[in-house]
Amino acid sequence: MVRQTLNQACGKTGRRGRLPGLGREHLMQRAAQQAALQRRIHTGMAERHALDLLRHGLRLKMADRVPQGRKRTHTRAGHAPFPKFEAVRRFPNDGPSLMFMLCSSIALSGPGESTGVSEADFHQQNQGDSDLPRGNLPDLSSLISGSPKREPMRHAARLPEPDLFGQESLADLREEAVHCRACHLYKDATQTVFGEGAAHAAIMLVGEQPGDKEDLAGKPFVGPAGQVLDRGLGEARIPRNKVYITNAVKHFKFVPRGKIRLHQKPNTSEIRACRQWYERELTTVKPALVVAMGATAAQCVFGKITPIGKNRGHLLDLTEDTKALVTVHPSYLLRLPDPESKEREYRQFVSDLKLASSYLRKA
């Protein structure tokens, strides 16, 4: 083809093999370009012919669903009538098979060159196809583009709708806290020790964390510190069943020493990880007064480090409808070595509880 094009170019000049002002290499390059253009034209024609056959195969596929008494003939202007559909019926599930045979005969001219078959060609219907139901035609665009056809999305099990009004029950919170993995303390603790008490108590008592006895029993303040708390509540005329008692951290943090588990104070990251449970308890119980017993409880209640000495003995604003009171933890009273100091601090502790008892009488 290159030689033929070169001869045509030379024939127009009236000379043999030479053009005025042009060399032999230039003529060869120009002839090669024209030959490549002609190959591309022929390739495009072959692709369009294959696309027409593919469309006709799809129409024949739909023709099998037409009633016996109805005839369907489609011919396009400038094309010979298509072969009868009995030849296509030889293949079961012939749609993808026919498309593969047709498209496999189309060769690309280059790695970045288009085949001329686009995704829009399969979705665009010509005038002869307008009376065919489009909804029954298979989607072949993914097969042409080479990407696998996507499977329909399978929806997961529907999750329960979140409560937008904060009406969580303490039983639901307690059940959810059993599976809490917000920090590493759950790994060594026996169980989650959640709060307990009146569901809508006027006073909420917040401690530090469960101790050894509480970790085994699954209830807050049932050990030695709980006995001191019960004694102080009795002297302040506050029934324990009328308040809600919980801890800032719901798992026991300790260091093993043989058969003994020594208490360890929670750090800031552990307090923050567990603060969500205090906040949800506070939202559910809606107390009028929150009593923070100890530095860890005060940090949880106020969200920052709060000194006990500077803030003890008077009410603090927590929210618009809730007050806060800071006092010592009952275990602090047990650690005092001097009996006189222990008695003095205990009396101050009871005085703080008496200040909180006024909210119980208002309720």
On whether the pTM is more than 0.75, the answer is no
The band of 298, judged by pLDDT with boundaries at 50, 70 and 90, is very high
What pLDDT is stored for residue 35 in this prediction? 77
Task: Taking residues 282-295, report their average pLDDT.
Answer: 97
Do residues 198 and 320 touch, judged by C-beta distance below 8 A?
no
Q: Give the closest residue to 144 by CA, choosing from 116, 107, 119.
A: 119
- Give the residue with greater pLDDT, 35 vs 312: 312
- Give the residue with greater pLDDT, 29 vs 274: 274
What three-state secondary structure class fits 290? strand
- Give the residue with greater pLDDT, 327 vs 70: 327
Task: Taking residues 12-31, report their average pLDDT.
Answer: 59
What phi-psi label fits residue 316: left (phi over 0), alpha (psi between -120 and 50 degrees) or beta? Answer: beta
pLDDT higher than threshold 80 for residue 99: no
The band of 244, judged by pLDDT with boundaries at 50, 70 and 90, is very high
Q: Give the closest residue to 293 by CA, choosing from 247, 342, 251, 329.
A: 329
pLDDT in tens, 314-353: 999 999 999 999 999 999 999 999 999 999 999 999 999 9
In this structure, are strands 260-263 and 254-257 parallel, antiparallel, or unpaired?
antiparallel
Task: Taking residues 303-323, report their average pLDDT.
Answer: 94
The CA distance from 207 to 356, in Å, is: 15
The CA distance from 300 to 283, in Å, is: 15
For helices 170-177 and 268-285, give the axis angle rounded to 10 degrees.
160
What pLDDT is stored for residue 200 in this prediction? 93
pLDDT in tens, 105-131: 444 444 444 444 444 443 444 444 444
What pLDDT is stored for residue 115 in this prediction? 43
The band of 135, judged by pLDDT with boundaries at 50, 70 and 90, is very low
- Give the residue with greater pLDDT, 204 vs 157: 204
Cβ neighbour number for residue 284 with a 10 Å cutoff = 18
Tell me the average pLDDT of the chain: 75
The band of 145, judged by pLDDT with boundaries at 50, 70 and 90, is very low
Q: What is the residue whose two structure tokens read 């506070």?
A: 282
Cβ neighbour number for residue 77 with a 10 Å cutoff = 6
- Give the residue with greater pLDDT, 265 vs 359: 265
Do residues 283 and 276 touch, judged by C-beta distance below 8 A?
no
Phi then psi for 194, rounded to 5 degrees? -90, 170
